């Protein structure tokens, strides 16, 4: 089976991109993903139904995959671990470049000065 063209998977929904960013650190489960995103300054509140819908979408696109329980973690319960796939890493990189380009354009048009809007 041929891998999909990465450009057809862009743009990612912001929550999908945040999930992929969390998974850069390794396999995780939904509750920990929520904790990580919500702990960020602009992470906002993540509703479980939205998170699990996005995880299901990412699984369907092949950007993440189910993973074994990481070493040192307790198995059992209802937690399902997921990790980023090789395709997911390529798509996350492409999305980061796309966003970087948009920010560069905003700076070039003087919408942004430095790191924060004026």
Strands (E) across the chain are located at 28-29, 64-67, 81-84, 112-113, 116-117
- Burial grade of 84 (CB within 10 A; 0-12, 13-18, 19 or more): buried
- Tell me the per-residue pLDDT of 85-101, one tens digit each, with 9 for 90 and over: 999 999 999 999 999 99
Burial of 98 (0-12, 13-18, 19+ CB in 10 A): middle
pLDDT digits (tens, 9 = 90+) for 13-55: 999 999 999 999 999 999 999 999 999 877 678 999 999 999 9
Calpha distance 34→45 (Å, rounded): 8
Q: pLDDT by residue (tens digit) across 58-78?
A: 999 999 999 998 887 776 677
Where b means 16+ CB within 10 Å and e means fewer, 33-65 reads bbebbeeeeeeeebeeeebeebbebbbebbbbb
**Which CATH fold topology does 11-117 show?**
Arc Repressor Mutant, subunit A (1.10.10)
Question: Domain-by-domain residue ranges, the chain?
Answer: 11-117
């Amino acid at each position: 089976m041929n891998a999909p063209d990465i450009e057809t998977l862009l743009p990612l929904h912001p929550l999908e991109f945040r999930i992929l960013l969390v998974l850069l650190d390794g396999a995780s489960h939904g509750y920990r993903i929520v904790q990580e995103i919500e702990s960020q300054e602009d992470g906002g509140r993540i509703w479980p139904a939205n998170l699990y819908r996005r995880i299901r979408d990412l699984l369907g696109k092949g950007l993440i995959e189910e993973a074994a329980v990481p070493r040192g973690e307790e198995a059992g319960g209802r937690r399902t671990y997921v990790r980023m796939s090789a395709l997911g890493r390529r798509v996350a990189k492409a999305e980061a470049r796309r966003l970087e380009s948009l920010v560069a354009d905003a700076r070039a048009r003087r919408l942004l000065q430095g790191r924060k809007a004026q």
